[in-house]
Structure 1
């Protein structure tokens, strides 16, 4: 186990530097004129432009720029955005909001997906299974850019069940509707994977043996079938946590939530390269750490899995 963790950590280091290099290259290759995009129509003198280039090392060769960024990153310094604000401080404020929103969305999606998926797998071909399949198709066919404003209009404005927007210090009630919208991105996939895994495990030899020994159906399903069926679901949930953090751009924009997605979209729109790279670098770390945790959970769910 220890050797496996060390090997994975070394792979994570290589993946992190490779991913940040690609993101850095793509970000600053497609930036046309970030300063002019920042100041709008106001003229920017050549001396001001030169001072900004020297401050953000944009007058250096590309590899030198990336070296400055990595050197600062390794010391915990994310630098400054083009607006002069500390990226680290912006990350601290935005991540607290997005983590709460994403974790709430993951919990809601996992409870609905696992519960409905187990029932669909047990009653495969029945009325409940058919209804869930139709609903998941409808959710998969509806993009988030349509679902988010529609949910805000119906449940926030017309019915008044939820607040229309959420603040930085939003509580459970304010984040519930955005979390439901965000969780809809993954609940359909998780439900279908759970249904398929449960249906396959119900036909396995160990289930027939457990039933032949006289074990109660609740124990067969809850202990044996569910434990083996959760392995692919755990993989999806682990990936979905990182995906929801990075994919909350539309949801946070519609509900005016000052989180990672909201700030990342604003940075892309204003061509704020340092801010984009800083936020994406943290997202890469989140993806890598979550995938490592998911791999380690496999051994806890299936005793046949060993890391040598």
Structure 2
């Protein structure tokens, strides 16, 4: 197990630098005039343009200029410095403010997927073909068919404005209650997928030979399902939820925009719109680390859930 973790960590290092290189290349290739994009319609003086051009090495052109800027970014990154955005703010300070908000939002979405999705999936798998199974099938297909860009404003209008059950917007310093509705909206797609995945896995394991053997030995149904079936059925669900955690952290752009949440997704969208390359690369770098670590944790959990899985 130790050698496997070390090998995975080395692979994570390569994946991290490869991903940041690609993101940096995309920002470098598609960059127009980031200084003017940052200023909007306001004029930029020659002194301001010269200062920002020299500070962010925007005068370096071509392939050589790209690798020079990327090497400078990696050097600062290895020192723990994410650099500064084009607005002059430190990216580390922006992350320090945005990260806790997005982490709470993603955690709410993940809990919704686990508590509701997995529980309903187990019940639907046990009672496959019944009324509950068919009802959840229709509801999950409906949720999967509605994109977040439609679901978020719809939930905001019905539950936030009309019924006043939740705050319509989160604001600059959102409380946990204010993040509850956007967290539920964010976790709806994960909930639907987790429910169908759990249902399929439970229904398949209930038809396995070891279940028939356990029942033949006289074990109660509650123990067969709760210990044997559920443990084996959770392996694909854990895989999905581990990958989904990274997706929830980075995929909250629409939800944070609709509910006015100053999180990572909100700042990432604003950085892309203003062509703030350093901020985009810095935020994506952190999201890549979260995604890689969550995948490593999932792989280690395999051996915990199923003793037959061993890493040599």
Q: Same fold (TM over 0.5)?
A: yes
Structure 1 counterpart of 2:22? 22
Q: Does the 8 A contact of 1:114 with 1:190 survive in 2?
A: yes
Match of 1:277 among 276, 281, 294: 281
Structure 2 match to 1:268: 272
CA shift, 1:233, in A, is 0.2
Gaps in structure 2 of 5+ consecutive residues: none
What residue is the counterpart of 1:137 in the other structure? 141
Give the Cα–Cα distance (whole angstroms) in 1 for the partners of residues 18 and 46 of structure 2.
34
State the match for 2:13 in structure 1. 13
Q: What residue number does 1:59 align with? A: 59
Q: Which has the higher mean CA deviation after the structures are superposed, 36-45 or 80-89?
A: 36-45
Tell me if 1:3 matches 2:3: yes
In 2, are the aligned partners of 1:182 and 1:244 still within 8 Å (CA)? yes
Could you tell me which of 195, 198, 207 is aligned with 2:199?
195
Kindly report which structure 2 residues correspond to 1:14-93, keeping only aligned pairs within 5 A, or say none: 14-60=14-60, 61-93=65-97
- Contact 1:198–1:226 at 8 Å: present in 2 too? yes
**Aligned-partner Cα distance in 1 for 2:115–2:173:** 25
Alpha-carbon distance between aligned partners in 2 of 1:132 and 1:37, rounded to the nearest angstrom: 47
What's the Cα RMSD here?
Answer: 1.0
Which among 248, 252, 255 is matched to residue 252 of structure 2?
248
CA deviation profile, 1:177-207 (whole Å, cap 9, x unmatched):
1111000121111111101100110011110
The CA deviation at 1:129 is: 0.5
In 2, Cα distance between equivalents of 1:207 and 1:259: 46
TM-score, normalised to structure 2, is 0.97
> Which residue, out of 203, 209, 216, partners 2:213?
209
Q: Tell me how far apart the structure 2 counterparts of residues 296 and 162 of structure 1 sit (CA, whole Å).
A: 38
Shift of residue 47, structure 1, vs aligned partner: 4.2
User: What is the rounded CA distance, in whole Å, between the counterparts of 1:48 and 1:115 in structure 2?
Assistant: 58
The correspondence for 1:118, drawn from 118, 122, 137, is 122
Distance 2:89 2:311 in 1: 45
Q: CA deviation at 1:7?
A: 0.3
The equivalent residue for 2:223 is: 219
Q: Deviations over 1:54-88 (max 9, x none)?
A: 10122231100000000101111111111111100
- Distance in 2 (alpha carbons) for counterparts of 1:168 and 1:295: 37
What do residues 234-264 of structure 1 show as CA deviations (whole Å, max 9, x unaligned)? Answer: 0111111110111100110111110001111
Residue 48 of structure 1 deviates from its aligned partner by: 3.0
| Contact 1:97 1:168 (C-alpha < 8 Å) held by counterparts | no
* Superposition pairs of residues 287-298 of structure 1, within 5 angstroms: 287-298=291-302
Distance 1:238 1:168, change over 3 A: farther
Write out per-residue CA displacement over residues 12-55 of structure 1, whole angstroms, 9 at most, x where no aligned residue: 00000000000000012101111011112233344432321110
Partner of 2:310: 306
Secondary structure of 2:225's aligned partner: helix
